[in-house]
């Protein structure tokens, strides 16, 4: 197999609206371990779906995430200035760095998500969860509540605000702006407005914390900037990465965990009866519904021939990693890979948090939040149910973020039902 697209096959056009992430993932898998695609904005790339190939590429020394150094189309101005996804490759943080630069930019983030700090958050996560569940108690029996907006979305944001030391008067602003970064259906004007608002809030956060430093990650990053370790742009973009790593993945993990357990009562029963654990349910949800379906971009710094597949990635080729497809690979998870099964023995082999040097730093925090919040939610509302048929749940308008726009539920049945 070569990098040349056969004349009879045009590159697969990725659906920026995320209408059916798993149908698209299956279609891409059917085209081979990697295939040529066009992401929104008509930008050419490879989409990689095979988990073994993904692991090889994510640990390959000649695969970079630095568009400024290793993507000729970006360097030469072929990527439009108003490309809606430009922020994903233009940012200056550990997500987009390569080699020693990646090591330098990732180091200050280690403090945000190191095991000791994450464990120290258990009490605060439990307290925040309890408060959110108590707030839900205001709903009358039979009332429809959006569980994503009032629980799955709010919990990780409040937790990451603790990690960053975000003042309370900025909470609502960040809550409104963060999700827009993952909306890959936006036009150029909408994308530019979303990025401008996010940077406005980040600058305001830095100004506030510079005057009132504390024992939090924002203050530590500001200190790095003041010492010359981080540029102003790297400071802002590192804060953006902490918010993304600590929020979006966890929101979608909580979202899909709830929906999977409500739509598979027999699987929920295995957990509540002790035949399976909450951790098993969490890992299977991460496999079955990767919170980040695809991540962009990586770049070949030289021609790379992958011997097991025969594929050749030419120098400068852009690469998209499709975790949604990889996590349902039949050769790893069997013919039932599309099925949610909390007792699946291969579940922990998922790639939901990535692999290699760019493994998601927020993974331990996401797992801890889910392990605390899910049993507390179902213990508080044992009769919780979806208020609509599962097929009526609408996906997020994104091929990157895999979640629902809303999760309408009834916490307690009406008295006459």
Alpha carbon distance 119, 126 (integer Å) = 12
Superfamily of domain 12-410: Cytochrome P450 (1.10.630.10)
Cα angle value 54/75/109 (rounded, 5°) = 55
Write the CA distances from 408 to 127, 143, 144, 145, integer angstroms.
24, 10, 6, 5
Pairing verdict, β 385-386 and 408-410: antiparallel
Residue 310 token pair: 């025969």
The domain spans of the chain are 12-410
Starting at the edge strand found earlier in the chain, the sheet holding 12-13 runs 12-13, 34-39, 43-48, 318-322, 294-300, 63-64
What is the per-residue pLDDT for 333? Answer: 97
Alpha carbon distance 327, 329 (integer Å) = 6
Residue 73 token pair: 């189309």
What is the per-residue pLDDT for 4? Answer: 43
Q: Are 130 and 151 in contact (CB under 8 A)?
A: no
Read off the pLDDT of residues 195-244 as tens digits, 9 standing for 90 and up: 888 899 999 999 999 999 998 889 989 999 999 989 999 999 999 888 87
Q: Are 297 and 83 in contact (CB under 8 A)?
A: no
Spell out, as residue ranges, where the chain has pLDDT lower than 70: 1-9, 175, 178-179, 416-417
Q: Classify the phi-psi angles of 228: left when phi > 0, otherwise alpha if psi is within -120 to 50, otherwise beta.
A: left
What is the per-residue pLDDT for 179? Answer: 67
Pairing verdict, β 34-39 and 12-13: parallel
Q: Which of 211, 202, 239, 205 is nearest to 224 (CA)?
A: 239
φ, ψ for residue 17, nearest 5 deg: -85, -5
Alpha carbon distance 328, 50 (integer Å) = 10
What is the per-residue pLDDT for 5? Answer: 43
User: How many CA atoms within 13 Å lie on the side-chain side of 302?
Assistant: 4
Q: Which of 286, 402, 356 is nearest to 106 (CA)?
A: 356
Residue 86 token pair: 């430009």
Alpha carbon distance 123, 96 (integer Å) = 33
State the pTM of this model.
0.93
Q: Are 159 and 125 in contact (CB under 8 A)?
A: yes
Task: Work out the number of other CB atoms within 10 angstroms of the CB of residue 180.
Answer: 15
What is the per-residue pLDDT for 267? Answer: 98
Read off the pLDDT of residues 70-95 as tens digits, 9 standing for 90 and up: 999 999 999 998 898 998 999 999 88
């Amino acid at each position: 197999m070569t990098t040349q697209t056969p004349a009879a096959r045009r590159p697969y056009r990725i659906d920026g609206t995320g209408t059916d992430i798993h149908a698209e993932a299956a279609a891409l898998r059917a085209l081979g371990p990697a295939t040529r695609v066009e992401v929104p904005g008509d930008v050419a790339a490879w989409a990689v779906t095979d988990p073994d190939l993904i692991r090889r590429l994510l640990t390959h020394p000649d695969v970079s995430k630095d568009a400024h150094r290793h993507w000729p189309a970006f360097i030469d101005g072929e990527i439009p200035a108003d490309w809606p996804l430009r922020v994903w490759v233009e940012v200056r943080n550990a997500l987009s760095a390569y080699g020693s630069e990646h090591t330098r930019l990732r180091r200050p983030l280690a403090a945000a998500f190191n095991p000791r700090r994450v464990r120290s958050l258990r009490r605060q996560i439990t307290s925040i969860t309890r408060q959110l569940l108590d707030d839900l108690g205001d709903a009358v029996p039979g009332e429809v509540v959006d569980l994503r907006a009032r629980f799955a979305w709010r919990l990780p944001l409040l937790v990451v605000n603790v990690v960053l030391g975000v003042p309370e008067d900025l909470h609502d602003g960040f809550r409104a702006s963060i999700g827009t970064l993952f909306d890959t259906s936006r036009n150029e004007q909408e994308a530019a407005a979303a990025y401008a608002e996010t940077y406005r809030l980040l600058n305001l956060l830095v100004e506030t914390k510079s005057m009132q430093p504390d024992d939090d990650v924002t203050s530590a990053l500001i200190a790095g900037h003041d010492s010359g370790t981080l540029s102003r742009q790297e400071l802002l973009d590192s804060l953006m990465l902490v918010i993304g790593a600590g929020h979006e993945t966890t929101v979608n993990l909580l979202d899909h965990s709830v929906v999977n357990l409500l739509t598979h009562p027999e699987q929920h029963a295995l957990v509540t009866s002790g035949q399976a654990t909450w951790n098993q349910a969490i890992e299977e949800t991460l496999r079955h519904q990767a919170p980040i379906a695809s991540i962009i971009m990586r770049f070949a710094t030289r021609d790379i021939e992958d011997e097991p597949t025969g594929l050749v990635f030419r120098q400068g080729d852009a690469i998209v990693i499709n975790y949604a497809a990889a996590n349902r690979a039949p050769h790893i998870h069997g013919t039932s890979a599309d099925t949610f099964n909390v007792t699946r023995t291969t579940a922990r082999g998922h790639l939901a948090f990535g692999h290699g040097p760019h493994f998601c730093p927020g993974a331990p925090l996401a797992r801890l939040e889910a392990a605390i919040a899910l049993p507390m939610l179902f213990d508080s509302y044992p009769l919780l149910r979806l208020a609509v048929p599962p097929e009526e749940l609408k996906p997020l308008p994104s091929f990157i973020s895999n979640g629902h726009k809303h999760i309408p539920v009834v916490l307690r049945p009406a008295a006459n039902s």
